[in-house]
Amino acid sequence: MWRRKKKKDCGCDAPRKECSRWQKAVRTFCRNRLAVIGAVILVGFIVCAIFAPYIAPHGPLEMNLSALHKPPGTPGHLLGTDGLGRDVLSRLIYGSRISLSVGLVVVSIAAVLGTAMGLISGFFGKTTDAVIMRVVEIFVAFPFLILVVAAIAILGPNLYNVMIVLGLVSWPLYARLVRSEVLAIRELPYIEASRAIGCSNVRIMFKHILPNCISSVLVTAAMSMAGAILSTAALGFLGLGVQPPTPEWGMMLNESKQFLRSYPWEIFYPGIAIMLVVLALNFLGDGLRDALDPYLRK
């Protein structure tokens, strides 16, 4: 049958040949519904975190001792109150500050440290590589949460220790990833050419090799931020994370756990909050991987 031929276009304003790879990636990302949903949810949480004082109906530490353990739907307290009369909704909103900031800091530390180690290890090879990879193997030999719990137990549970310990235990993931990418890129002709014209090692590493690794680092960062938020909540649940009265989702679950029999609704909302953020980050990570991956394969 006669069909009208449609000119192929990737949807961006520039003429086809000038459409950059990033624009193509954004286009692929936007077509993935789940990834967009994830991004929207994440933005929602970020807005909550930044504008918490304006959004939350009460303060996070505001106790109302005449309204303890109120169920959701009580006037003034949309999601109820906890054991000390604090509004659950406000604590959830302020708690997003803690979770998101810990996630961000942990991923930044781990990504920067891990990428640097991976670059050095992959680029210089031989003994440097062997040494760094042995260290990575030793870190990886520890079950993640166990090393984290032991370190926090000894260093003391507070926000900064959580961030630092989680960051320091997560870097091997990035190091191994970046190293494998570097090993592949290192053999390409243009690297040899750069060396031939006299580029220093540092310049080659950061200007030529690194930009090609960035995509996989970004995808891993999104997924591992989800893991960091889960770990923070787990530490909070065990009592080893951010200490009360600071509102943290895991700690809220820990406090509600004791009242499971009498006030069972209290465990719902912090758990849902954690799940939503992690879900959003997972969707985002999946979408990023699909958007950036075909580019990688080219």
Partner 1 sequence: MLSYIIRRILIAVPVLLGITFITFALVSFAPGDPISSMLLGNEHINPDLVESLRSYYGLDKPWYVQYATYMGNLLRGNLGVSMASRTSIADSVRQFFPNTMLLAFTSMFVALIISIPIGVISATKRNSLFDYGSLTVAMFGVSMPSFWLGLMMMLLFGLRWRILPVYGMGSFDEGMWDVISHLIMPSITLGAAMAALLVRLTRASLLQVLSLEYIRTARAKGLRERIVLYKHALRNSLLPVVTAAGLQFGRLLGGAFIVESIFAWPGMGKYTLYAIGVRDYPVIQTTTLIFAVSFVVVTLIVDILYTFIDPRIRYN
Per CB under 8 A, residues contacting partner 1 are 134-135, 137-138, 141-147, 149-151, 153-155, 226, 230, 233-234, 237-238, 240, 250, 253, 257, 260-261, 264, 267, 270-271, 274-275, 278-279, 282-283
Please list, in sequence order, all residues whose beta carbon lies within 8 angstroms of the beta carbon of residue 13, skipping any fewer than 6 positions away: none
Give the CA radius of gyration of the chain. Answer: 23
- DSSP class per residue in 114-177: HHHHHHHHHHH-HHHHHHHHHHHHHHHHS-HHHHHHHHHHHH--SHHHHHHHHHHHHHHHHHHH
**Cβ at position 74, least distance to partner 1 in Å:** 21
Of 34 and 116, which has the nearer Cβ to partner 1?
34
**Cβ at position 118, least distance to partner 1 in Å:** 19
Of 63 and 145, which has the nearer Cβ to partner 1?
145
Q: Say how many C-beta atoms besides its own lie within 10 A of residue 182's C-beta.
A: 25
**Could you tell me where the DSSP H helices lie in 156-248?**
159-186, 189-196, 201-203, 210-238
**Cβ at position 1, least distance to partner 1 in Å:** 27
Instruction: State residue 208 phi and psi, 5-degree precision.
Output: -110, -45
Task: Work out whether the CA dihedral 77, 81, 87, 88 comes out positive or negative.
Answer: negative
Counting Cβ atoms within 10 Å, is residue 11 exposed (0-12), middle (13-18) or buried (19+)?
A: exposed
**Cβ at position 199, least distance to partner 1 in Å:** 35
Of 9 and 137, which has the nearer Cβ to partner 1?
137
**Cβ at position 230, least distance to partner 1 in Å:** 6
Of 194 and 220, which has the nearer Cβ to partner 1?
220
Cis amide prior to 245 (ω within 30 degrees): yes
Q: How far apart are CA 119 and CA 96, in angstroms?
A: 33
Q: Which two tokens stand for residue 58?
A: 């009460």
Of 14 and 130, which has the nearer Cβ to partner 1?
130
Of 261 and 298, which has the nearer Cβ to partner 1?
261
**Cβ at position 269, least distance to partner 1 in Å:** 10
Q: How far apart are CA 43 and CA 111, in angstroms?
A: 22
Of 150 and 188, which has the nearer Cβ to partner 1?
150
**Cβ at position 136, least distance to partner 1 in Å:** 10
Name the 3-class secondary structure at 19. coil
Please list, in sequence order, all residues whose beta carbon lies within 8 angstroms of the beta carbon of residue 244, skipping any fewer than 6 positions away: 251, 255
**Cβ at position 21, least distance to partner 1 in Å:** 26
Of 59 and 72, which has the nearer Cβ to partner 1?
72
